[in-house]
Every structure is written in C-alpha cells, then in structure tokens.
C-alpha cells in the first residue's frame, strides 16, 4: 500500500472478494537522521504516504504494517541508477524496483508471513490459459503499466493479483469516492520517488559526493562545438541545455563515456532503425528465431512494428519497420504480441551516427 488511490482501491476490492487481507507499506527512504535525504523521497515513498496508507487500512478494516527494505532498495535501485548514469546510460529505476523490490523481496516476505498472494495497484492483467500465466495490457491505454512489468516470470504471476487491470483510472477514483477513502482525490506522483523535482543531475551529484567532469561536445565530424557540464546531466535526444548557439538546432546523438564527450547532430540523426537489447527476460516462452512483434522503447511512447532476433542467449537485435527517435541506452524495450507481453530487456546500443 503506497498511500495512493490505486493501491487503496486494490486493498478494498480484494477484501470484498473475501480474502483475508493485510496491508504492507515498504520503507525505502533513507535514515531519518538526515532530514534532507528524507525530503528527497516523495510519492509512494514519503512519510506522508505511510500515514495515508494507515488511514485507508483503518477505513476498510485491515491490519497495516511497514516493512524496512531500505538497504536492499539502496543497493538494487539507487546504486544501480547512479552507476548507469556514470556509464553514460539512462536507466529506468521503476523497472528495477518492480523486479527486485516489489516482486522480489516483498513477495518473499509475504510468503514468510504466510500470504498466498500479493495484490498491487498496477494497471495490467494476469490471465491463466492452458496452465500458463499471461501478462496483458491494462484496458485503460492511458494507464497501462505492463511496460514496467515485462520481467515477471511464471512463479511471480501465479502469486500476484492485479484487480485494476480491467478498470480505467476514472472508474478507480469513482470506487474510492463511493467507499469514502481519504485518498480518493489524491494526485498521482509523476516523478522518480527518490529524485526531488525530477532533477536527476543534482541528485547524482549530491549522492555520489563527487563533482561531474566537464568535457567536449562534438559534432558528427568530430569537431569540438561546445563544452558540457558532466555526462550525468544529459540524455540521448536532448536539445535544451547544451549551450550551443547559432546554426541549426542540435540534439544529443550519443553519450561517449570513453571520451567523456557528448555527440550532437541535427534532429534527423536522432532516429534509429535498429538497436540491441541485453538482459532479455521472457514471461513464458522465449523468442528463439526472428519474430515480428511490436516493441515499446519508453513508457509513454507508441508501439512500433519490429523484427526481434535473439542472439547470444539473453540478447536480441531489434529492427524497426519505421525509424524511432532517441533510442536510449539504459532504457527498457518491451516486446508485445497484440495485448500480451512477450518479454523485454535493456537497450544497450543503437545505430546512431558517431564521429570517428
């Protein structure tokens, strides 16, 4: 229970189905000894969210517990987030949190507490067919969260309930209002919970306790056209904040960690037709031969038709039917077959042009 409307309605719906329900909120914010660190954590991770979750649990009449996952969250999510940025990649910490925290240590702890299932407020659907579980998109296309759940395995899916998958967000809020839940009108958090106001660069600079190293901005001919503040402040496809004036607008084409350089070029050079994906995970049957699927490279992006070709075990080459803008190493690529999540992985490279 994150203290938001989605997990609150989930708890109420599951209780109405006659399950014996108790609520868990994960404590993942830093030690209270450092007030500034605590203030960084917002949304589902704030101290206020815990208070809201307790109010909801009291309202619907279920026990509520707070479990300390602070250490493992820092190790698996925050540290990985920092190391990926230092490597010139742009990570998705929500995916890591789902894989290692919500459906890793939380699921394990729930089993230790003799719970048969954990129920979450994700907008996705789990269906069983022919003895196998399938992960499907939520019916509300604007809220579908299957993208951040691609790493789910059969053992996970058999122990998870997602009752909001068949609802729209408006229907969820209506249920919350009808039940008189105190979070019915609560706004959604749009940012990463441990990054204040979406300022990734400042967070990384403070957390790593080291100054980022400035370096050159190169054009596609290898010429120096500017100077950057430090690679952690930038991502592929970015235009604003480069400090380059005159001529045509320039965009970040690639982040060159080895040379501590940004590579920039015109907008048309930000498009890719193929890229590689690593650490590929499949929900059920793996793709073993070149297969036409739809792929999604960002949570809010549209799906694209593509040919997915596996290689070297847990890697895949994705060849797009139409070019996609700002294919970003470190981000997640998810494979779909109609409404079904086939699997996905982490983008490792694309065919953006780079100077020699």
Residues 332 and 218 in one domain: no
Q: Which domain holds residue 345?
A: 270-350
Residues 255 and 286 in one domain: no
Report if residue 189 sits inside a domain: yes
Report if residue 164 sits inside a domain: yes
Q: Are 297 and 329 in contact (CB under 8 A)?
A: no
Residues 300 and 166 in one domain: no
Residues 151 and 69 in one domain: yes
Helix (H, G, I), strand (E, B), or coil: what is residue 249? coil
Report if residue 204 sits inside a domain: no
Residues 128 and 274 in one domain: no
In CATH, what number is assigned to the domain containing residue 316?
2.40.30.10
Among 265, 286, 303, the domain-final residue is 265
Q: Are 236 and 90 in contact (CB under 8 A)?
A: yes
Report if residue 206 sits inside a domain: no
Residues 216 and 278 in one domain: no
Residues 144 and 222 in one domain: no
Q: Residue 215 CB: number of other CB atoms within 10 A?
A: 17
Q: Residue 210: exposed, middle, or buried by beta-carbon count in 10 A (0-12, 13-18, 19+)? A: exposed
Predicted pLDDT at 30:
62
In CATH, what number is assigned to the domain containing residue 239?
2.30.30.280
Which residues are tagged catalytic?
A: 97, 193
Among 228, 249, 265, the domain-final residue is 265
CA 98 – CA 105 distance, rounded (Å): 10
Distances (CA, A) of 131 to 2, 115, 127, 160, 161: 32, 22, 10, 15, 17
**Number of domains observed in the structure of the chain:** 3
Residues 119 and 153 in one domain: yes
Residues 116 and 17 in one domain: yes
CA 145 – CA 162 distance, rounded (Å): 11
Residues 256 and 314 in one domain: no
Bridge-based pairing of strands 64-68 and 23-27 is: parallel
Report if residue 24 sits inside a domain: yes
Report if residue 250 sits inside a domain: yes
Among 139, 164, 198, the domain-final residue is 198
Task: Kindly give, in sequence order, each residue whose CB lies less than 8 Å from that of residue 300, ignoring residues fewer than 6 positions away.
Answer: none
Comparing C-alpha atoms, which of 327, 229, 336 is closest to residue 276?
327
Predicted pLDDT at 205:
83
User: What secondary structure letter does DSSP report for 115?
Assistant: -
Residues 118 and 176 in one domain: yes
Chain centroid to CA 226: 32
Report if residue 205 sits inside a domain: no
Predicted pLDDT at 351:
66
Report if residue 203 sits inside a domain: no
Residues 37 and 151 in one domain: yes
User: Tens digit of pLDDT per residue, the chain (356 long)?
Assistant: 999 999 999 999 999 999 999 999 998 876 544 445 555 555 566 677 889 999 999 999 999 999 999 999 999 999 999 999 988 899 999 999 999 999 999 999 999 999 999 999 999 999 998 889 999 999 999 999 999 999 999 999 999 999 999 999 999 999 999 999 999 998 887 667 887 666 788 888 888 877 889 999 999 999 999 999 999 999 999 998 898 877 889 999 999 999 999 999 999 999 999 999 999 999 999 999 999 999 999 998 999 999 999 999 899 999 999 999 999 999 999 999 999 999 999 999 876 544 43
Predicted pLDDT at 208:
83
Q: Are 175 and 5 in contact (CB under 8 A)?
A: no
């Amino acid at each position: 229970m994150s203290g938001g409307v989605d997990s609150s309605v989930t708890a109420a719906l599951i209780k109405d189905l006659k399950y014996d329900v108790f609520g868990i909120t994960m404590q993942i914010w830093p030690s209270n000894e450092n007030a500034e660190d605590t203030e960084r954590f917002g949304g589902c991770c704030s101290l206020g969210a815990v208070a809201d979750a307790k109010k909801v649990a009291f309202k619907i009449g279920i026990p509520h517990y707070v479990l300390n996952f602070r250490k493992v969250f820092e190790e698996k999510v925050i540290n990985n987030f920092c190391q990926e940025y230092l490597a010139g990649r742009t990570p998705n910490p929500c995916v890591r949190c789902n894989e290692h925290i919500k459906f890793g240590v939380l699921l394990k702890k729930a089993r230790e507490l003799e719970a048969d299932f954990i129920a979450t407020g994700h907008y996705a659907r789990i269906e069983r067919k022919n003895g196998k579980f399938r992960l499907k998109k939520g019916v509300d296309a604007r809220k579908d969260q299957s993208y951040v759940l691609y790493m789910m395995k059969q053992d996970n899916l058999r122990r998870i309930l997602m009752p909001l998958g068949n609802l729209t967000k408006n229907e969820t809020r209506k249920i919350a209002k009808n039940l008189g839940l105190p979070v019915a009108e609560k706004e959604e958090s749009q940012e990463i919970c441990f990054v204040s106001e979406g300022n990734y660069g400042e967070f990384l600079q403070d957390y790593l306790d080291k100054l980022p190293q400035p370096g050159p901005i190169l054009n596609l001919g290898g010429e120096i056209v500017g100077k950057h503040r430090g690679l952690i402040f930038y991502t592929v496809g970015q235009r604003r904040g480069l400090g380059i004036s005159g001529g045509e607008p320039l965009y970040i084409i690639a982040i060159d960690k080895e040379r501590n350089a940004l590579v920039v070029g015109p907008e048309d050079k930000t498009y890719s037709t193929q890229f590689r994906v690593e650490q590929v995970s499949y929900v059920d049957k793996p793709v073993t031969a070149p297969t036409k699927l739809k792929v999604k490279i960002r949570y809010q992006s549209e799906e694209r038709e593509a040919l997915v070709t596996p290689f070297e075990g847990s890697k895949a080459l994705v060849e797009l039917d139409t070019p996609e803008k700002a294919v970003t190493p470190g981000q997640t690529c998810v494979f779909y077959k109609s409404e079904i999540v086939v699997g996905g992985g982490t983008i490792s490279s694309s065919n953006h042009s780079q100077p020699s």
